[in-house]
Amino acid sequence: MSKNSKKPVNEGLFGSARKFTDAFFDGLKANAINHALANAKKSKTLPMPIKDKMDSIQKLSKELEQMIKDYES
């Protein structure tokens, strides 16, 4: 068989699979981060200013993600 007889690869299928896996692993990462933040908030060893800063960073991160999504649209 020659190289020319092979069927072309459907790039759309691989792109869709990549988007799905990226979204899946991003979700897992977000859940892990949220779980870690929840545990940190419950912790009695962390000072309140650190907990407040963590909340602030999380809010800013969400705002930035939304701004990027709006910009891409």
User: Residues with Cβ < 8 Å from 58, sequence gap 6 or more?
Assistant: 37
Distance CA(66)–CA(73), nearest Å, equals 11
> pLDDT tens digit string along 5-47?
555 555 677 777 888 888 888 888 888 888 888 888 888 888 8
CB 60 within 8 Å of CB 52: no
The pLDDT mean for the chain works out to 81
Q: State yes or no: pLDDT of 68 exceeds 80.
A: yes
